[in-house]
Structure 1
Amino acid sequence: MATQDTERFTSTTPPATATVAEQFTPLLRATLGDRPPVQFAFWDGSSVGPPDGPGAVVVRSARALRRMFWSPGELGLGRAYVAGDLDLTGDAFEVLRALQTAAPRDARLGLGAAWTALRVAGRLGALGPPLPPPAEEARRHGRLHSLRRDARAISHHYDVGNDFYRLLLGPSLTYSCARFPDDDVGLAEAQRSKHELICHKLGLDERGGARLLDVGCGWGSLALHAAAAHGVEVVGVTISRQQAELARERVRAAGLADRVEIRLQDYRELAGETFDAISSVGMFEHVGARRIGAYFEILRGLLRPTGRLLNHAISSVGGSRVGSRTFIGRYVFPDGELIDVGEVVLAMQRAGFEVRDVEALREHYARTLREWSANLAGGWDRAVELVGETRARIWRLYLAASRVGFTDGGISVHQVLGVVPRPDGSAAMPATRRSWP
């Protein structure tokens, strides 16, 4: 493969005989500076950037440029990646980290660079009508966060096959941030540690015969732990049909059918029941900023006095919506929204909760994602058999990009614990955290 030295390439108008790498160099300089942090390899065999870096960005076809021309920014890049016109080799996390570090946070392509991009695309034969988006792209219809639209969004993400999630998540089958109390703790033990922490925060040991509601119960892992280790009665609700089916199988296999009920049900359909505690782990991201007030009011109405709610969710400063022009919004989490933890606390208080504890687990999520990525890489051939190469590649990029966000602090994850106090102000809360593992 021929390699072009970026430092020696200074022409802003490459000759017609220039390699694709030479054509691209001015554009790379506009966004990444004079020294690309990773190698960029092109379909004609030319490349630019260090060959001994953590990996490479591989542009396999001029179609990648056409997709980026018609859908500028992240959506075009995402479509090119999903279609296979663009790829990452090596350690995807390290490649993305290197690109993020090299690019200024306020980098923008000006009119001059945009015109250069247009000329390059023309010379390389990349201009033409828009290409159809990949079939894996989510289609959004209906009112945002309606029952029907939320069900479709959840199905897009979760109903890709329980065997795939077994491979990705490991035996714990827990799709949320683990908690690593020590450096040598493995993923399964770290998930048990997280489940145990939640049970202690909810005071399940202190409430004989307590009734727990697990909102967004996934494959039932927390419900199973709470019932087996703390003897409580659990109702778990999910709107993923495949999750509900497997969760029920796991409950039966564990001999806990008399204590755990798994329902295919939206939290908005709960009414006329009361609980001593509610857990919501990794589900809040699907609620939506406009609905968080109603969400907490519904959960508040299901709790008895001194009942506790543990809300575990990804957050971002100022809040952010997973937009329709992002890779994650189109291919992973359609309609997802990340709420500022301050807004979460305020909404809980407005709904009648007294907020008693807030804990950040950001670094734990970065490590969790590293473990999931290792599971996917180690079982790659099987993953491709289960969901196809395209979807497996989507997950590879999604996990790596998410890990970058939790590593650099762009996103975080918080557990917020609230209690419903009695009219006299008593809340039956422990005086300190000492009882929590």
Structure 2
Amino acid sequence: MATFTPMTVADIVDTLFPSGTPFKWEAFDGSSTGPADAKHTVRVNSPEGLSYIVTHPGDVGLARAWVTDGLAVEGAHLAHPYDVFDDMRTLYGNYKRPNPREIVRIARSLRSMGALQIQPVPEAEHASWLERTIRQGLAPHSKERDAQVISSHYDVGNDFYELFLGKSMAYTCAYYPTPDATLDEAQENKFRLVFEKMHLKPGDKHLDVGCGWGSMVRYAARQGVKSLGVTLSREQAEWAQAKIKEEGLEDLAEVRFLDYRDVTETGFDGISSIGLLEHIGVDNYASYFQFLADKLRPGGVMVNHCITYPDNHETPQGDFINRYIFPDGELTGSGTIIHEMQDHGFEVYHEENIRFDYMRTLHDWCENLKANWDEAVSLVGMNTAKLWGMYMAGSEWGFEHDVVELHQVIGVKLDENGSRAGTPERRWWNDSVF
């Protein structure tokens, strides 16, 4: 019987990427491969790091290896590893599925390194939401499960979010009036744009579903509009109510810790949904839009602002984002959203894609996180801080390369005669774009 000679980590990399790799690889076993002049060097630091990648291929395995230092990328900042993603796309494009003989040899080699043992992962605490909800038998997008899901993401700590969101405390795409505008200026401009698109005036009533820290609510109140916001994050609601009191807006602004489905008021003049539809689930779009249409007066306007795919396929988000960032999140294309709005109470008047503004927003968030990295780690721990850095940098890359988009859709509720009941026939807002 022939003697088995284990493969090195470099041998395995060369087998899986026979047409080449854009990275230089250096591994714990002393082996290396890849171009000497590569922009980035990937260091596989331990059998444990290799084990995470092997036993859970894809973005989850890479994330686990990354956060536990089983894998490191030289030249990539922990808070903003953006420039790695072009090389990652090239790497995935060069992948070749090994043949059966190669699979056997790779498996035997990994076993000899101790890299086929499934290691426990010291995950961020919020990542255990899935196991909890499954044990409790909570159906996706039920009120109970949605409450846990939103809490798992947004109740990480207001102090942590303040480090990268800036003064606006807006965790959604900004709208940059000029190329050199600051993040806070761009977020204020986004609130102005959404407010104007809703065609609101002093004395009107406004509902903001999924209101976050209440930034849109406070903006509307400062314009003399009575504004109600609802969120499933208790920490957000408490922070928002304190800010409303600080600004003296109690007579016009309110944020409730409440599921949007439990809002009892009706007759709103405008409704904004900024970054909520991603959490609703595509199968629930019909009931969602019909519910909100029923909350509007005839002639009232809804602005839906959400992340989409560039086409209309309907799938959950990737494993990494679903497990660690936005549990139960689902995306589809703007065409599906428009179709559902048209079928459930709205005349769709206008839509636009502002994905490059989200690219800029994410870049600014990453730069803020980088500047406050030590404090971020002290607040939430290294694992969570690294996960957020990877998520936001990857999202910045995704919006730049049209992997995902950001669409704003305006819907008007008509009266029984098909009239807009006072809403203008033509565009009534100012874009203020560069």
In the superposition, the TM-score normalised over structure 2's length comes to 0.89
Q: Taking structure 1 as reference, are residues 319 and 157 closer, same or farther at Cα in structure 2, changes over 3 Å only?
A: farther
Deviations 1:5-40 (A, max 9, x none): xxxxxxxx9965x7x45333324524xx32x21232
The number of residue pairs the alignment matches comes to 414
After superposing the two structures, state which structure 1 stretch, 137-146 or 68-77, moved more. 68-77
Asked whether 1:190 is paired with 2:183, we answer no
Distance 1:246 1:269 in 2: 21
Alignment of 1:324-335 (within 5 A): 326-335=319-328
Asked whether 1:311 is paired with 2:322, we answer no
| 2:322 alignment partner AA | G
Alignment of 1:147-226 (within 5 A): 147-204=143-200, 207-226=201-220
Alignment of 1:232-271 (within 5 A): 232-271=225-264
Q: Tell me the equivalent position of 1:122.
A: 111
Secondary structure in 2 aligned to 1:234?
strand
Secondary structure in 1 aligned to 2:22?
coil
Give the conservation status (yes or no) of the 8 Å contact 2:175–2:187. yes
Give the conservation status (yes or no) of the 8 Å contact 1:308–1:417. yes
Gaps of 5+ in 1: 1-12
Distance 1:318 1:109 in 2: 29
Q: Taking structure 1 as reference, are residues 116 and 278 closer, same or farther at Cα in structure 2, changes over 3 Å only?
A: farther
Distance 2:162 2:371 in 1: 13
Distance 1:334 1:89 in 2: 30
Q: Tell me the equivalent position of 2:87.
A: 98
Q: Tell me the equivalent position of 2:277.
A: 284
Deviation (angstroms), 1:253: 0.8
Q: Taking structure 1 as reference, are residues 255 and 420 closer, same or farther at Cα in structure 2, changes over 3 Å only?
A: same
Deviation (angstroms), 1:436: 1.8
Deviation (angstroms), 1:131: 2.0
Distance 1:377 1:51 in 2: 28
| 1:66 alignment partner AA | S
Alignment of 1:366-385 (within 5 A): 366-385=359-378
Deviation (angstroms), 1:78: 2.6
RMSD (Å), alpha carbons: 2.2
Q: Taking structure 1 as reference, are residues 153 and 264 closer, same or farther at Cα in structure 2, changes over 3 Å only?
A: same
Distance 1:45 1:171 in 2: 48
Deviations 1:281-331 (A, max 9, x none): 0111100011111111110111000011100000012344435x7111111
| 2:122 alignment partner AA | P
Distance 1:174 1:399 in 2: 14
Give the conservation status (yes or no) of the 8 Å contact 1:57–1:89. yes
Q: Tell me the equivalent position of 2:68.
A: 83
Gaps of 5+ in 2: none
Distance 2:393 2:334 in 1: 24
Distance 2:50 2:29 in 1: 14
Distance 1:81 1:295 in 2: 38
Distance 1:352 1:57 in 2: 52
| 2:24 alignment partner AA | Q
Distance 1:221 1:260 in 2: 10
Asked whether 1:37 is paired with 2:22, we answer yes
Deviation (angstroms), 1:181: 2.2
In the superposition, the TM-score normalised over structure 1's length comes to 0.89
After superposing the two structures, state which structure 1 stretch, 75-84 or 92-101, moved more. 75-84
Deviation (angstroms), 1:413: 0.8
Distance 1:131 1:81 in 2: 14
Secondary structure in 2 aligned to 1:409?
coil
Secondary structure in 2 aligned to 1:433?
coil
Deviation (angstroms), 1:80: 2.3
| 2:344 alignment partner AA | A
Q: Tell me the equivalent position of 1:412.
A: 405
Deviation (angstroms), 1:424: 1.9
Deviation (angstroms), 1:202: 0.4
Deviation (angstroms), 1:144: 0.7
Q: Taking structure 1 as reference, are residues 126 and 335 closer, same or farther at Cα in structure 2, changes over 3 Å only?
A: same
| 1:158 alignment partner AA | Y
Q: Taking structure 1 as reference, are residues 396 and 14 closer, same or farther at Cα in structure 2, changes over 3 Å only?
A: farther
Q: Tell me the equivalent position of 1:70.
A: 55
Q: Tell me the equivalent position of 1:336.
A: 329
Identity %: 39
